[in-house]
Structure 1
């Protein structure tokens, strides 16, 4: 079956040897790559992926240009990319227009590393502009080891943004809220403009619970994802294979939804 991994990460070659160990220390999580673009491609395609999405994050306003230039350079031969903006930067909306012009597939925001709450009105112009440009936004949703005591994107906040910006395509990473599945069920499930990705679902969900949330939300609104290099295709696929979802349902999650939403065509 075709596999598209919706949620992966890599770094420029010069940065990877420093960035990955630092992030691993913060997260207390093993990693399965050297963090470079080349190793990401090699391992993902060796694991059976027909394509992948690389999500990039600008953790400072001054990083936006270089991060998005790197994303544009990575987008080739089955690899697609989300760019990023620092949402409280004065030129964030201008950079969204450049992301669109570069042909990137969307925008990744990580509220913990970027130090903002997703329902902060200061960042609403970014959501409005992204909606107008047709750029989906993937949010890191739920808990994160970088900010263990403060959740900057709760499922409730994500639902508030979905209601306020109904034409914005929202992707709630980590099944809509890492380690917050009860709130995902209460606030997120059924929101028409929210998609979920399965990145690192094995960290906090059993197969039965994962399958329950997917079916309730709708199999046409879920993307297969790993969060590589923090998890792997084999690990996250094993979880999905144990949910009881049918082959037809899994095909939508593994590749069909991504092909439809991002207008891409995958092949073996």
Structure 2
């Protein structure tokens, strides 16, 4: 609520001379009685000879008499006068004026808050090829992991060293970075972070091609959907990349290995010539 002085200032600025609220306002000054009195001013009607009436019938006050118009316009004139009298006698209630700083109750549906993406990627190097691999368990590969054994088989088939070396300190790229706090950890922030880590490695040593293995690698490094597998693309700022499904998907779907082999054979001259 606002003070009475401030409310009147708003009304004067809006050129509202008379304002009657629908209900009693808290902390408002009482209404002045003179504002509730409406004077009805009307031009005196022309003298009309009225028919004689019985003495018992009370005379109608002059204010309520309707003027007699010339023939042909009597109906329209009478209706216009009656409408004017009703507007003066019964003013339409005004809607309460809401000041600019008064809160207005509105039902606003809040946009759904999307949780930050969660993934773990391992960045490794095999010869002149950089590998960005989704970690199925979220932890670094162990020598006996079936997914790691499959990765070694893929490297041998591509005529690359089958013992990839971990990059940097060997820690996986995990997201989200923080479990608490106000830091933006949405999709765009995750993409910028992953691409920044890969770009830093490329700036130091470079490579002939990047293998993007798994849906998070495709989405946050290659900026493509998980279905965009078995093809080569050019990632802005990172260079050529070969997209592959995750290692677990390759183990569960043996038929996908044939598609992957065809894609690898098409891209093999790129890293074979660069070695």
- Alignment TM-score, normalising by the size of structure 2: 0.29
- Alignment TM-score, normalising by the size of structure 1: 0.29
Considering fraction of residues, name the structure with more helix: 1
**Bigger RCO (CA 8 Å, 6+ sep):** 1
